[in-house]
Amino acid sequence: MRHTLSILVENKFGVLARVTGLFSGRGFNIDSLNVAPTHEPHLSRITVVLKGDDSALDLAIKQVRKLVNVVEVTDFKEGQAVQRELVLVKVKASAKNRSEVMQICEIFRTKIVNVDHNELIIELVGDSAKVTAFLDLLAPFGILELARTGTLALKR
């Protein structure tokens, strides 16, 4: 089962390594990891998306809560959080197919952030299903490069 965890931690050296090490040591594969400071400079938020057994995850969450420098851990259930991801994608866009690529961009309300003779760099923000659908539509044109932030989540 897929889980999204939000872990509020003190912004100190080694905290990320301890948290991720705990999950990897328990056999969880981390699908997405995002870390950044919050509005309070001494705190950071770690957002982790992982797959694993519910009972094993419950035990891992209890262990994360016991770690030094961990302030709060939230396991978001389905629909409890607003989740978004940012993707930058460089796609082939020749004179022949540029208008078709731009139409797809309009449908998904993206931003074209760079235009070159044979390629576009496009920015998209959305949930993971929207990002996947967008990338699936762009794939036939030729994706040259791709960068994704991973999931960010805040409780509703």
CA angle 139, 140, 145 (to 5 degrees): 40
Residue 52 amino acid letter? G
Asked if 125 and 103 count as a contact pair (C-beta separation under 8 A), the reply is no
DSSP letters, 53-69, are -HHHHHHHHHHHHHSTT
Among candidates 31, 65, 77, 35, which has minimal Cα distance to 50?
Answer: 31
Among candidates 117, 110, 121, which has minimal Cα distance to 147?
Answer: 121
pLDDT digits (tens, 9 = 90+) for 6-64: 999 999 999 999 999 998 888 888 999 999 999 999 999 999 998 888 888 898 899 99
Rounded Cα distance between 19 and 64, Å, is: 7
pLDDT digits (tens, 9 = 90+) for 95-151: 999 999 999 999 999 999 999 999 999 999 999 999 999 999 999 999 999 999 989
pLDDT at residue 24, rounded to an integer: 87
List the domain boundaries for the chain: 2-76, 82-155
Among candidates 93, 80, 92, 135, which has minimal Cα distance to 110?
Answer: 135
Q: What average pLDDT is seen over the chain? A: 93
Same fold, 2-76 and 82-155: yes
- pLDDT confidence bin for 77, thresholds 50/70/90: confident
Give the 3-state secondary structure percentages of the chain, helix then strand then coil, rounded to 5.
30, 45, 25
Q: In the numeric block, which tokens belong to residue 10?
A: 């003190």
Give the fold, CATH level 3, of 82-155: Alpha-Beta Plaits (3.30.70)
Provide the whole-model pTM.
Answer: 0.85
CATH number of 2-76: 3.30.70.260
